[in-house]
Structure 1
Amino acid sequence: MAKCIYGAPAYPSDKAIAVRTEGHQAPLFFLPSGFGDYSYVYELARFIDNESPIYALPWPAGLAEKGFTLAKVVGYAVAMLRRVQPHGPYHLAGYSSGGLLAWSIARHLRENGEKIAFVGLIDTLLPEMRHSASEAFAGEAQSPSAAEIREEADRIGLNMDLINAASIQHHARLVADVDVTPTDIDVYLFKAKEEYMDENTSWFKRITQRGYTREDASALLWDTVLEPERITVTRVNGNHVTLLTDAGNRQALGAHISASLKVCRE
């Protein structure tokens, strides 16, 4: 998930980051995680079929300091994306709250007349208020404190020197405003089988009452808003973290993403 795990760069840029340039199909664009980190894409890309080039769309520099709104972040990402691929059909994906940005970008493009072929959500929970660090990073809708960011970074092995706490907090507030309403965009959700969050919190109990569970193929509450026929759920091994940090889980996830992309291309 971070440079200290994968050894890949994770820094702001005003250009799409080329992870893999080979491939004859339309590119696949990934969004960073809630830490602003896109290094997970480098290792995951090894297990995604080589028919598509793969790019990462980093957060803008000064995300918090310059007071970026969600609309401005989406516009910034769209500008990077269009330099690589001027028109659709587009393929977008994101891990954790990066999936919310992927959704927002896809919706913006669709509303501007572009075709969206694929939106991949890697264990992305529909936005909901959180009450602890692990809950905030699993869904990213509540802004975590600096202490919570450090606690979570230590928990999953991230190097605090490589992340910007102010930008993480600002991003968490932005994705709380993501507008998820019915549309004609198809979503492919890759859902971790194992629980990561504290099951004893009132928030966890509340979303469980709304239908949240890891035990079946329900859609992490996206199916409470989107039409069920628009959502394809694939259950993947691991929890919110180990689905990517465990090599076997990561390989299986890449294979699932490849299979979904193949369906979209047919």
Structure 2
Amino acid sequence: MSSSENVTKAWDVLGEALSMDPLDFEDHESWKFLGLGDLLAAATASDLKNLGLDVKTEDFTKYPTVGEFKTFLLRGDNTAPSNGAPAASPAQLNEPADPWEGIPKPKVPLSIALQGQASKAKVIVFLLPDGSGAGGSYGSLPRVSPDVCLIGLNSPFLRQAEAFTCTIERMARLWLDEIRKLQPKGPYVLGGWSAGGYYAFEVAKLLIAAGEKIGRMILIDSPCRLQFEALPEAVVGELTSKGLMGASGLKKAPEWLVQHFTSTVISVESYMPTPIAASDVPPVVNFIWVREGLVKDVAESGLNVDLTVKVTRFLLEPRGELKTVGWERLLPGARYEFDYMTGNHFQITQPPHVSASISACTYIG
């Protein structure tokens, strides 16, 4: 039986067990979320064995999401990875062992010390970049503590966005050695603004797979990919034409920023994260949200956008006080802390709003 036939037969059995059409299975969904409890998992594993598949009850725990379990079946031998690492996501299966293969040499350093010195600090906070790709965007953050070093990570594709065609997961792999060079051992503190939250999450998974601990995550106005779409390219173009794309006051966003932001949203389009196991989730996750939208009234703004797209509304419209909005499914069991700031999504690192955006880091020093 081919590995693709294994998936088809297994999906039929799982669909019947869960009273679902297998076509409705989505890679990011966990079996627990879909209703596959311990007893049902045992019965389903038994049914799969009767079909000639070597599936054990614990395999639903080893490969807790639809995508991971599919990868397990597609390998054909139905055995766990020999190094104990989690199964690769479907996106990772097509990536080279060396993440830098075919990637042009970065034109800027991968990291920049924004505050303090990594060699002397008690705590290092690694901040992954937003869609602009510039770790220097965090340079305006007020001083946190003499004991804290803030490191901004730059995109390897800064100033060469035309070469940015890799996945979010592979981007995380490009930063891993740089982070471990600056801090060889955990626990690690990782944060990110907007798409930087996705990068921070994927870096955390890589560090966990390497046996490290994550002490804290800081998610800064980062809409969970499980609930929000990638920002449509048409919206990027519309915001750029109206001077709203990452602009500060009347200053138009530079072309390199727009290009990198466009490459980022294309990459986010194919990104669908899978959860971190509850036993590995950082004990504290800080959320920092803005309350304001880019415009007070979309209808009066003259923007030609589709407001049925949730992430477009997230960016443009005023909000209440958001909570975990889906991240609890990716980071189950953490203590969630919330802070709110003035300004809109693109003003997070701009005065006077910036004084509130680093509040979570003050808890660390």
Aligned to 1:49: 145
Letter in 2 for 1:21: G
The structure with the larger Rg is: 2
Contact 2:161 2:256 in 1 (8 A): no
Aligned to 2:154: 58
| Partner SS state of residue 174, structure 1 | helix
Kindly indicate whether structure 1 or structure 2 has the higher relative contact order, using CA contacts under 8 Å at least 6 residues apart: 1
Match of 2:131 among 34, 37, 43: 34
Looking at structure 1, the residues matched to 309 and 235 of structure 2 have their Cα atoms a distance apart, in angstroms, of 17
| Partner SS state of residue 40, structure 1 | helix
Letter in 2 for 1:16: S
Deviation at 1:33, TM superposition (A): 1.3
| Partner SS state of residue 92, structure 1 | strand
The two structures have a TM-score, normalised by structure 2, of: 0.56
Contact 1:182 1:226 in 2 (8 A): yes
Contact 1:104 1:178 in 2 (8 A): no
4+ residue runs over 6 A deviation: 197-200, 205-208
What are the equivalent positions in structure 2 for 1:160-171 lying under 5 Å apart?
A: 160-161=253-254, 163-171=256-264
Relative to structure 1, the CA distance from residue 42 to residue 207 in structure 2 (aligned partners, 3 Å threshold; closer, same or farther) is closer
Contact 1:143 1:170 in 2 (8 A): no
Aligned to 1:96: 194
Match of 1:232 among 315, 337, 360: 337
| Partner SS state of residue 265, structure 2 | helix
Looking at structure 2, the residues matched to 111 and 14 of structure 1 have their Cα atoms a distance apart, in angstroms, of 26
Contact 1:193 1:215 in 2 (8 A): yes
More moved, 184-193 vs 76-85: 184-193
Aligned to 1:147: 237
Relative to structure 1, the CA distance from residue 228 to residue 19 in structure 2 (aligned partners, 3 Å threshold; closer, same or farther) is same
Deviation at 1:165, TM superposition (A): 4.2
Deviation at 1:179, TM superposition (A): 0.8
Aligned to 2:116: 21
Aligned to 1:75: 173
Looking at structure 1, the residues matched to 320 and 257 of structure 2 have their Cα atoms a distance apart, in angstroms, of 35
What is the aligned residue count? 236
Contact 1:19 1:41 in 2 (8 A): yes
Does 1:181 pair with 2:181? no
Deviation at 1:101, TM superposition (A): 0.7
Contact 2:125 2:188 in 1 (8 A): yes
Contact 2:285 2:334 in 1 (8 A): no
Does 1:172 pair with 2:289? no
Match of 1:108 among 188, 206, 218: 206
Relative to structure 1, the CA distance from residue 64 to residue 152 in structure 2 (aligned partners, 3 Å threshold; closer, same or farther) is farther
Looking at structure 1, the residues matched to 313 and 329 of structure 2 have their Cα atoms a distance apart, in angstroms, of 11
Match of 1:250 among 354, 361, 365: 354
Unaligned runs of 5+ in 1: 1-10, 131-135, 137-141
Match of 1:129 among 219, 226, 229: 229
Relative to structure 1, the CA distance from residue 15 to residue 246 in structure 2 (aligned partners, 3 Å threshold; closer, same or farther) is closer
When the two chains are superposed, the root-mean-square deviation of aligned CA atoms in Å is 3.2
Contact 1:12 1:59 in 2 (8 A): no
Aligned to 2:217: 119
Looking at structure 1, the residues matched to 333 and 127 of structure 2 have their Cα atoms a distance apart, in angstroms, of 24
Looking at structure 2, the residues matched to 191 and 214 of structure 1 have their Cα atoms a distance apart, in angstroms, of 9
Looking at structure 1, the residues matched to 349 and 180 of structure 2 have their Cα atoms a distance apart, in angstroms, of 28
The two structures have a TM-score, normalised by structure 1, of: 0.74
Contact 1:47 1:255 in 2 (8 A): no
Relative to structure 1, the CA distance from residue 69 to residue 63 in structure 2 (aligned partners, 3 Å threshold; closer, same or farther) is farther
